[in-house]
């Protein structure tokens, strides 16, 4: 089906919107930037949130996970809602909910309040984000035109993480940590106002909502993440740890069984029949798991060990954005020539090399000597992967299932990020506990009474002993990140294939998928 058929105007307003695809793409990309940016803009403010609301370091990870878990877990339902109710309508609803939740985050006075509001933010993002990607498939013709649109969209998505760190630094240092949430208010209102003017409503499809699938998948992943974080605090033999893993197993099994039997599942299992699409999901989940952990721990390192201010910490990540955008531009132009396999393989290898380099961090490391180089490698690798994965995930999918295909890709990224951060946090906490035991005799012999009182109260060693503990925990956690990226490398090498049909679709010479 051609693009003109998908966006045939039903009113003069629709015709005017259809004639402004550039503005429509800008509105869609702005939403994606706001949603993705929010996964990391909070990271720079984490030390300030921790001090204001009295989180422990391990508990602090839930400020990130509460958002990414609900986002990733409900993305599939959000994509299905767009297919059934109309993508523009769902898009605007998600934007408004996300904006309201951002306000509540900024107003939070207790830990539970900010965690609940972050979860609500994730719900809003899950409603809006998959419809944003699906709207591109119905606005731009498959081939070079859609490739360019996806290239812009993917570059915005990929660079949003690094941009969020920079923006978070500015807002935290110049204003207050609450402004990392308040900044979403004018942006969200503007997007909601422009969407009805420049985005054409999609055709609505009859269907049902798979609420059981959405609930079991979200609860299952939340239990799995909680199990890893609980294990880092209380050990693998703790009853709640074991109970969380058992609940995750039951819920995720129920999810698969539900999807097999549902008449209209939120996760059509036939999506995994295509080996390249399945491989793309695994690669995206693995690399996102490593990326979220890298951002979280590098922020702690540069602020707590290198004593960077919030804005300096944000600027430290700016080169990552440049590398991501550069690599995204290269891959979007060359994909029709070489297909996805070379870019996914090279991207994963570069990301893995950067992660392995980061395992050399110690308290004496400098930004230029131990952080910048690895992040440049990692950023370029991720730039190669993001555009490639986006196009591969939706290539050849029928128009009425584009919401499910796109939401699956986003879901693997967000769920992978939560799972990866929880795994790396578990390794970090275990290594930090062992290093604390090694540093304790020296601390007790050389510390002041005030420092010992602080340790009794917080159970965390102050500098310089605390710097050694933090650096050792981070370096060890990054080895787990290397293992996650290794899974992506193996998948790219042995699962992905260069196929003539993919090259034809990417170059626009193949027939469009049927609706």
What does pLDDT average to in each consecutive run of 10 residues of the chain (515 residues)? 33 42 77 77 83 76 81 75 78 92 93 92 85 72 70 69 76 88 90 80 62 81 80 78 90 88 75 81 90 86 88 85 84 79 91 94 90 93 84 68 66 80 87 88 86 80 87 93 93 79 53 40
Residue 455 CB-half CA count within 13 A = 18
- Non-local (6+) Cβ contacts of 90 within 8 A are 78, 81, 82, 127, 128, 131
Instruction: Determine phi and psi for 44, rounding to 5 degrees.
Output: -60, -35
pLDDT of residue 351: 93
Query: What is this structure's pTM?
Result: 0.75
Four-point Cα dihedral 413, 415, 421, 423, nearest 10: -120
pLDDT of residue 512: 42
Dihedral of alpha carbons 495, 499, 505, 510, sign: negative
pLDDT of residue 54: 75
Contact 501, 142 (CB under 8 A): no
Phi-psi region of 408 (alpha: psi -120 to 50; beta: other; left: phi over 0): alpha
Q: Which of 334, 328, 327, 320 is nearest to 387 (CA)?
A: 328
Contact 462, 446 (CB under 8 A): no
Concatenated DSSP letters of 372-415: HHHHHHHHHHHHHHHHHHHHHHHTT--GGGHHHHHHHHHHHHHH
Residue with tokens 């930004």: 367
pLDDT of residue 253: 92
Q: Which of 179, 196, 212 is nearest to 42 (CA)?
A: 179
Structure tokens at 81: 């809602």
pLDDT of residue 207: 60
Determine the Cα–Cα distance for residues 421 and 122; give it in Å rounded to an integer: 16
Determine the Cα–Cα distance for residues 131 and 406; give it in Å rounded to an integer: 8
């Amino acid at each position: 089906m051609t693009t003109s058929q998908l966006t045939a105007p039903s009113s003069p307003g629709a015709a005017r919107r259809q004639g402004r695809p550039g503005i429509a793409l800008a509105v869609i990309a702005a939403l994606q930037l706001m949603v993705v940016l929010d996964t990391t803009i909070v990271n720079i403010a984490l030390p300030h949130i921790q001090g204001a609301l009295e989180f422990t370091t391990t508990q602090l990870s839930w400020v990130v996970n509460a958002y990414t878990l609900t986002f990733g877990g409900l993305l599939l339902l959000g994509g299905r809602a767009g297919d059934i109710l109309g993508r523009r309508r769902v898009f605007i609803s998600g934007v408004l909910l996300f904006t309201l939740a951002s306000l509540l985050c900024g107003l939070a006075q207790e830990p539970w309040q900010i965690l609940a509001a972050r979860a609500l933010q994730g719900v809003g993002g899950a409603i809006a984000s998959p419809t944003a990607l699906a709207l591109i498939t119905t606005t731009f013709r498959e081939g070079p035109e859609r490739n360019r649109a996806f290239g812009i969209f993917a570059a915005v998505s990929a660079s949003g993480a690094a941009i969020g760190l920079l923006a978070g630094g500015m807002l935290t240092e110049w204003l207050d940590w609450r402004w990392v949430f308040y900044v979403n208010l004018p942006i969200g209102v503007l997007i909601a106002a422009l969407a009805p003017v420049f985005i054409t409503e999609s055709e609505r499809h009859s269907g049902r909502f798979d609420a059981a699938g959405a609930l079991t998948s979200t609860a299952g992943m939340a239990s799995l993440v909680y199990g890893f974080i609980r294990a880092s605090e209380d050990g693998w033999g703790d009853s709640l740890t074991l109970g969380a893993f058992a609940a995750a197993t039951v819920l995720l099994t129920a999810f698969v069984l539900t999807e097999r039997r549902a008449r209209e599942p939120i996760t059509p299992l036939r999506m995994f029949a295509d080996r390249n699409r399945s491989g793309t999901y695994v690669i995206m989940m693995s690399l996102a798991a490593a990326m979220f952990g890298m951002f979280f721990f590098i922020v702690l390192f540069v602020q707590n060990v290198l004593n960077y201010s919030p804005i300096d910490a944000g600027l430290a990540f700016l080169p990552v954005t440049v590398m991501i955008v550069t690599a995204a531009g290269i891959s979007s132009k060359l994909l029709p020539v070489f297909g996805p396999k070379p870019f996914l393989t090279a991207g994963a290898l570069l990301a893995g090399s950067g992660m392995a380099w980061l395992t050399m961090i110690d308290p004496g490391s400098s930004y230029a000597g131990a952080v910048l180089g690895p992040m440049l490698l990692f950023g370029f690798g991720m730039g190669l992967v993001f555009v490639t994965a986006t196009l591969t995930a939706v290539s050849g999918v029928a128009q009425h299932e584009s919401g499910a295909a796109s939401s699956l890709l986003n879901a693997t990224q967000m769920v992978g990020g939560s799972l990866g951060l929880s795994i790396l946090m578990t390794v970090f906490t275990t290594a930090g506990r062992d290093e604390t035991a090694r540093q304790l005799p020296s601390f007790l012999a050389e510390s002041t009474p005030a420092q010992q009182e602080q340790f009794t109260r917080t159970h965390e060693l102050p500098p310089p002993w605390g710097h050694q503990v933090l650096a050792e925990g981070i370096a060890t956690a990054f080895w787990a990140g290397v293992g996650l990226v290794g899974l992506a490398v193996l998948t790219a090498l042995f699962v992905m294939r260069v196929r003539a049909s993919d090259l034809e679709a990417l170059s626009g010479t193949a027939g469009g998928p049927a609706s």
